[in-house]
Amino acid sequence: MEFSTMRGKRVSITGIELDILAKDTEFARAQYINLAVPLAPAVEVSVVFSGKDLNNSIHRPERCLRSQGWNLLVEKKVLLKNVLGSGFDIPFRTIVHSKLVTLKDGREINVQRLQYYTFFGHETITESHYTRTFTDMKDRLFKGYDQQWAYATFSMPVTQVYADQGLIDSSQALNLEQTEQILEDFIRELAPLVIDQ
């Protein structure tokens, strides 16, 4: 994947998301399409910036996904090495999740997505909700400040499940490993452009 062939557009944040999180929470969301591969699915990127009320500002996506009816199939830690050069690694947690969706014509189809997420603090990057919480409590107690966390997610559909259901041609489908590779390549290309080193 060449990042120069990717084009992004901002995506609106839904009212539901705004209603359930603390009022000083800030969002940014975009979808990127690959102009060189027009039939490839979009990569969705979201960043949520925590407010002062950390408990109601950002949280593990597993909590929201389950409440939205997603089944969590696989969860694991992934360390992307040398993302920013000179040995700078970024830890991510990945989730493969699926659910049944009813189409307008009444048919039910299975959809599946892959999501990478991590938490960026002022001094710490972690994929662990517990490490983030502990670090935040420790810094508030002993240093008198909070990390001002940013929760970043990168996701896209695993389109092989559409081919398996006869919805798209199998030659256009991406299996889980191919989807992982696209997301990891995308993160490696985008991260140096948006993260201060």
Give residue-wise pLDDT tens across range 85-141.
Answer: 777 899 999 999 999 998 888 889 999 999 999 999 888 899 998 888 888 888 888
Q: What is the mean pLDDT of the chain?
A: 85
Q: What is the pLDDT of residues 26-42, one digit of tens each?
A: 788 899 998 888 778 99
Taking the model in full, what pTM does it have? 0.87
Number of H helices, E strands in the chain: 5, 8
Q: Which strand (E) or helix (H) includes residue 15?
A: helix 15-20
Q: What is the pLDDT of residues 57-73, one digit of tens each?
A: 677 788 778 878 899 99
pLDDT of residue 186: 92
Contact indicator for 157, 31 with CB cutoff of 8 Å: no
Contact indicator for 147, 121 with CB cutoff of 8 Å: yes
Domains of the chain in start order, with CATH, are 3-194 (3.40.1000)
CA dist 48 → 29, 101, 118 (Å): 9, 26, 11
